[in-house]
Structure 1
Amino acid sequence: MALCWVYWMAGLSVIQTWATPAGGYQFQGIVDCEYDDTIDNMIYFVKNIFNQKLTTIYDSRVQKYVGFGEFGIRNADRYNSQAWKMAIRKAEVETICRYSARFFKLSTLERIVPPIVKVRLTKPSRYGELSMLECSVLGFYPQEVRVSWLRDGLETTTAVTSTDTLANGDWSYQLHSYLEFRPQRGESVSCTVEHPSLDEPLEVVWDTSGLDAKWFKMAIGVCSLFIGVAMAIGGGVYYWWKNR
């Protein structure tokens, strides 16, 4: 594994190039950090390139510059004689390489973000009607995830479909799973998600309050209808009895 930055004057930056108006010369400086998974065996290089030719390179394994060609050897000797420069290069193994490697591991390889799970009907429905539930699993990392549906505590795989795991572009993912069924009053339906960020599966129960409200309104309407009919019949019977 390796990280590579462009370097100039002991700092991180883009590649910086100097050239005469006619393009007579060009100078570049590059930092290169190489390490293994433990980031203990860190190797740090500082490369100076003149007109696309490597002139000097600092190697942290020998803690000095090595020159190439007459110009490079002369510069390497001058750099190695500068105690302040050599102290900076030695410190940069920790301040640039190892620090950035730790940040890279925490932000990518060891990054864990738990999912946000939402369960909803894809369109308004009623009890007994063919309906579809959507379980949205959002904003999780890493990519590995498992989604399942439970009906009254038992897993069901009938009429279940899912999207692929989709990248959000911000180091997170999302997935959507669908269950086609006919809701029954009193039945418990839930979406269960398993992810490395969770100590145990996350179960989100579908909230049926919307359907219950519709059912309650319908029940009130039916009761009101029967009461109205009963009152009309009772009124008719009373009127007939009074005028008999």
Structure 2
Amino acid sequence: MDLCFLYKLSVSALLLCTSPAGGYVDQLIADCEYDDNITDVVYLVKNVFNQKLNNIYDSRVGKYVGFGEYGMINAAHYNSQAWKMAARKAEVETLCRYSARYFRRSTLDRKVPPIVKVHLTKPADYGERSMLQCSLLGFFPQEVRVSWLRDGVEVSADVSSTDVLANGDWSFQLHSYLELTPERGQRVSCRVEHSSLREALEVDWDTSALEAKVLKRAVGISSFCIGFATAAGGAVYYWWKKRSDFSPLSR
């Protein structure tokens, strides 16, 4: 025990006395490398001393490989430690494969359908040139296709769109626009195709606001006509009553 302590003390003193101006840098770098499908994994543990690779653990061979005289000595020492080798083999599962499963769930396998809203960009009326906006919000992944339909037929003219925008929370948004002149009885839809949807989603433009304006205008005109007719009838009746009302003296 004393000899071992003296040996360690001597090595430490030697390193301190012979250390360069910048000192010594000993690094341990663990690295998980995956294929394109994140199924095959290679686990590497690198021991770097003063920016020089000393030895490396490679999960493909299941042991440490040394570089240079001291690197091979250290690699042989590590390979003789059963606990260290068991820990390295376990880390392939606990570090690399666990991270791969988490990454797949959060990215490759994550599907979030878009929230689709269709509305006018500003108030308009039938027969007035206007613009419809179709907003796709909170979807993932970012690959998406948007198109416009007028009475079931796809429209390609007067259509524009923004780029797919990142929200900063692993979701995206996109806005598509259609210039048109609204007509009564016409059906205008925004069609969305996304990997999270089993089939294309079609959202109709709700024209209830325009219909309400038309109804309100019709009610207003009807009320005016009824009021005018009532007033005119009252005036005619008053004139007729006045004309046919003779007093006893004049009789």
TM-score, length-normalised on structure 1? Answer: 0.84
Deviation at 1:39, TM superposition (A): 4.5
Deviations 1:39-81 (A, max 9, x none): 4542211001111011111111221112223332232222112
Deviation at 1:29, TM superposition (A): 1.2
Deviation at 1:161, TM superposition (A): 1.6
For the pair 1:26 / 2:25, whether they are aligned, the reply is yes
Which residue of 2 is the match for residue 3 of structure 1? none
Cα gap change, 1:68/1:158 in structure 2, threshold over 3 Å: closer, same or farther?
A: closer
Which residue of 2 is the match for residue 193 of structure 1? 192
SS in 1 for 2:111: coil
Pairwise mapping of residues 58-207 of structure 1 onto structure 2 (< 5 A)?
58-207=57-206
Cα gap change, 1:229/1:81 in structure 2, threshold over 3 Å: closer, same or farther?
A: same
Percent of aligned positions that are identical: 70
State the aligned residue count.
Answer: 226
Which residue of 1 is the match for residue 241 of structure 2? 242
TM-score, length-normalised on structure 2? Answer: 0.82
Which residue of 2 is the match for residue 48 of structure 1? 47
Cα gap change, 1:48/1:110 in structure 2, threshold over 3 Å: closer, same or farther?
A: same
Which residue of 2 is the match for residue 223 of structure 1? 222
Deviation at 1:206, TM superposition (A): 1.3
The residue type equivalent to 2:155 in the other structure is T
- Out of 19-28 and 116-125, give the one that drifted further: 19-28
Which residue of 1 is the match for residue 10 of structure 2? none
Distance in 1 of aligned mates of 2:127 and 2:40: 65
Deviations 1:190-228 (A, max 9, x none): 111111221111011112222222222212211111111
Distance in 2 of aligned mates of 1:160 and 1:107: 33
Cα gap change, 1:83/1:145 in structure 2, threshold over 3 Å: closer, same or farther?
A: same
Deviation at 1:21, TM superposition (A): 11
Which residue of 2 is the match for residue 7 of structure 1? none
Deviation at 1:22, TM superposition (A): 5.4
Which residue of 2 is the match for residue 36 of structure 1? 35
Distance in 2 of aligned mates of 1:131 and 1:61: 64
List gaps (5 residues or longer) in structure 1.
Answer: 1-18
The residue type equivalent to 1:58 in the other structure is Y
- Out of 47-56 and 104-113, give the one that drifted further: 104-113
For the pair 1:208 / 2:184, whether they are aligned, the reply is no
- Out of 178-187 and 127-136, give the one that drifted further: 178-187
Deviations 1:100-127 (A, max 9, x none): 1222233223332211111111111222
Distance in 2 of aligned mates of 1:112 and 1:89: 34
Distance in 2 of aligned mates of 1:69 and 1:63: 20
Cα gap change, 1:195/1:41 in structure 2, threshold over 3 Å: closer, same or farther?
A: closer
Distance in 2 of aligned mates of 1:90 and 1:43: 11
Distance in 2 of aligned mates of 1:123 and 1:83: 73
The residue type equivalent to 2:84 in the other structure is K
Distance in 2 of aligned mates of 1:39 and 1:148: 34
The residue type equivalent to 2:184 in the other structure is R
Larger-Rg structure: 2
Cα gap change, 1:21/1:215 in structure 2, threshold over 3 Å: closer, same or farther?
A: farther
Greater helix share, structure number: 2
The residue type equivalent to 1:88 in the other structure is A
- Out of 48-57 and 103-112, give the one that drifted further: 103-112
